[in-house]
Amino acid sequence: MPRPARLLAAGLLPLLAGGISIAHAQAPLPGGAPAATVPAAGAPAAKAPAPRPAGPTAPDPAFEAARAAFEARPEAERRAVQDALVWAGSYNSVVTGTFGRRTYEAIGAWQSRGGAASATGVLDEAGRGALLAAGEAARKAARFTVAADPATGLVLGIPERLLSKRSRIAGGTRWQSPDGRVTLDTRAYAPGEADLDTLHAQAAAATPERKVTYSLKRPDFTVVTGETPTGKFYIRTAAGAAGLRGFTLSYDKGSAREMDRLVIAIANSFVPFPGESAPPPPRPMAATAPDPGAKGPAPAGLAAPVAGPVAATGIVVGPRRVVAVLPAACSAPRIAGEPARILRRDEAAGLVLLEGQAPAGAALALAAAPPRPEEAVVVVAAGAEGPTVTTGEIAAGGVLAPLQPGAAGAPVLDRAGRLLGLVARLPAQPRLVAGIVPPLTHPLVGAAALKALLGAEAPASPASEAKPLTAGAIAGRVAGAVVALRCGP
């Protein structure tokens, strides 16, 4: 997958998980016929084809028929349909031209809102034309223009009807609404002028008046979302050979009705380094498509798929020893593609101690005290593309954070990098709000259960207090001890 698409795929999830409520979603689109009615922002979603239940299911004939019809069209037309679905308020994912469950449900929602007798997920010529016209009408109404920013070199889409004021600022450009309620700033840093870790730490800093609702750090980009008492914000920064480039979008909660229709379009359009080829990924990446359920060959730039999805996260506690929280159905766990043997099990806590092909990861230290309410924490989970880092906080009943199913068993660490516990079992399918994983409270497996299972192999508590670290620094220390667990024969 080209670099902009990789950035986008990881960036759109936290965009909405961070509290930006979008009924469906938005992105750019080629031209179409004039005027069709566009549903109002925030309108209730019409009934779409039913979501897939968790676990293996028999093939869905309606879904497969819709896939065949969609994939029979040229790629440019497939992308145009997804773009139009975004602008028409039905699709909130990356425009790739690949078909999956999200595209299927978005087409069904569009058909239902248009009064179709049945939401088949298959567009005939008349339906496709109406959809393209509706998307283009919404895009033109916003005067959405995608162009290079001369001050920074990045490419971004600007809704010029809303952000009509433009001015230069230090290192970038500012677009603003006439009433000052919406501001979009771009910023570029020359190589060596700033580092990604520092900018991420600054963006993710919480205060009594500034709540960070999502924070993600990868080697080449970061995303932070949050809220203030009166507004919302989204910050994205990318690293490349030309330095660092990014943008900050902030808006008053009173303008959310209109802005929630534009936020994804702006993020979708972001290309930090036009023309720059992507560097080799830091580790092999799974060929997972941004649209769940998509099939077909892997997009360019991705390695071959790994065997099966990540079922859970394990942490290395010794040579060939991994502790994990496994789903009940995972009777044949695998680490690095090799079978793992269950040595001990705590049924009540859901913990298992595995023997298998585990790396010699850095040992984790247990926190000396139990977690405190509202304490800031970092969760490092295994993912198909490598470890992912998410910030959250301790809440009544566990940890509050937007986590994917593969985060079951992920270490929950305090801001000094000490282990507070493990994320307990997550559902096989994430709970979605407008197709996005929101922050939810997940139960924790505490230190006492870990010590009971591991005995002498349990991590020790440090003798002295440690200094607070950034989320990136914690991830750097812990990533080597985190492994992906899969289930298979």
pLDDT digits (tens, 9 = 90+) for 357-392: 777 656 678 888 888 888 888 888 887 667 788 888
Which residues does the chain have with pLDDT short of 70?
A: 1-59, 261, 276-308, 328, 360-363, 384-385, 427-438, 457, 462-465, 489
Site of tokens 């569009």: 110
Site of tokens 């028929």: 65
Nearest to 345 by CA among 452, 236, 230: 452
Question: How remote is the C-alpha of 22 from its chain's centroid?
Answer: 15
- Cα–Cα dist 36/127, whole Å: 11
Does residue 83 sit in the same domain as residue 23?
yes
Does residue 374 sit in the same domain as residue 247?
no
Does residue 485 sit in the same domain as residue 347?
yes
Q: What is the domain range of residue 452?
A: 306-489
The pLDDT of residue 257 = 72
Look at residues 107, 142, 177 and tell me which one is the last residue of a structural domain: 142
What separation in angstroms does the CA of 353 have from each of 346, 347, 383, 443, 467? 9, 12, 20, 19, 30
Kindly report the backbone phi and psi dihedral angles of residue 456, in degrees, each rounded to the nearest multiple of 5, phi listed first: -70, -20
The pLDDT of residue 417 = 86
The pLDDT of residue 11 = 52
The pLDDT of residue 376 = 87
CB 313 within 8 A of CB 483: yes
The pLDDT of residue 43 = 41
Does residue 116 sit in the same domain as residue 168?
no
What separation in angstroms does the CA of 137 have from each of 84, 227, 405? 10, 31, 38
Look at residues 93, 123, 142 and tell me which one is the last residue of a structural domain: 142
338 forms bridges with which residues in the sheet?
Answer: 335
Does residue 340 sit in the same domain as residue 483?
yes
Burial 457-484 (b: 16+ CB within 10 A, else e): ebbeeeeeeeeebbbbbbbbbbbebbbb
Kindly report the backbone phi and psi dihedral angles of residue 423, in degrees, each rounded to the nearest multiple of 5, phi listed first: -65, 125
Site of tokens 């009173």: 254
Residues 6+ apart with CB under 8 A from 326: 311, 312, 333, 350, 352, 408, 409, 485
In this prediction the pTM is: 0.51
What separation in angstroms does the CA of 297 have from each of 9, 231, 282? 17, 42, 22
| Cα dihedral across residues 436, 439, 444, 447: positive or negative | positive
Does residue 441 sit in the same domain as residue 318?
yes
Instruction: Say if 375 falls within a structural domain.
Output: yes
Does residue 99 sit in the same domain as residue 150?
no
Does residue 138 sit in the same domain as residue 179?
no
Nearest to 423 by CA among 381, 483, 363: 381
The pLDDT of residue 385 = 65
Burial 106-128 (b: 16+ CB within 10 A, else e): bbbbbbbbbeeeebbbbbeeebb
Instruction: Say if 294 falls within a structural domain.
Output: no
The pLDDT of residue 248 = 96
Residues 6+ apart with CB under 8 A from 330: 311, 312, 485, 487
Look at residues 142, 174, 203 and tell me which one is the last residue of a structural domain: 142
**SS3 annotation, 199-238:** HHHHHCCCECCEEEEEEEEECCEEEEEEECCCEEEEEEEE
CATH number at residue 201: 3.40.1000.10
The pLDDT of residue 181 = 92
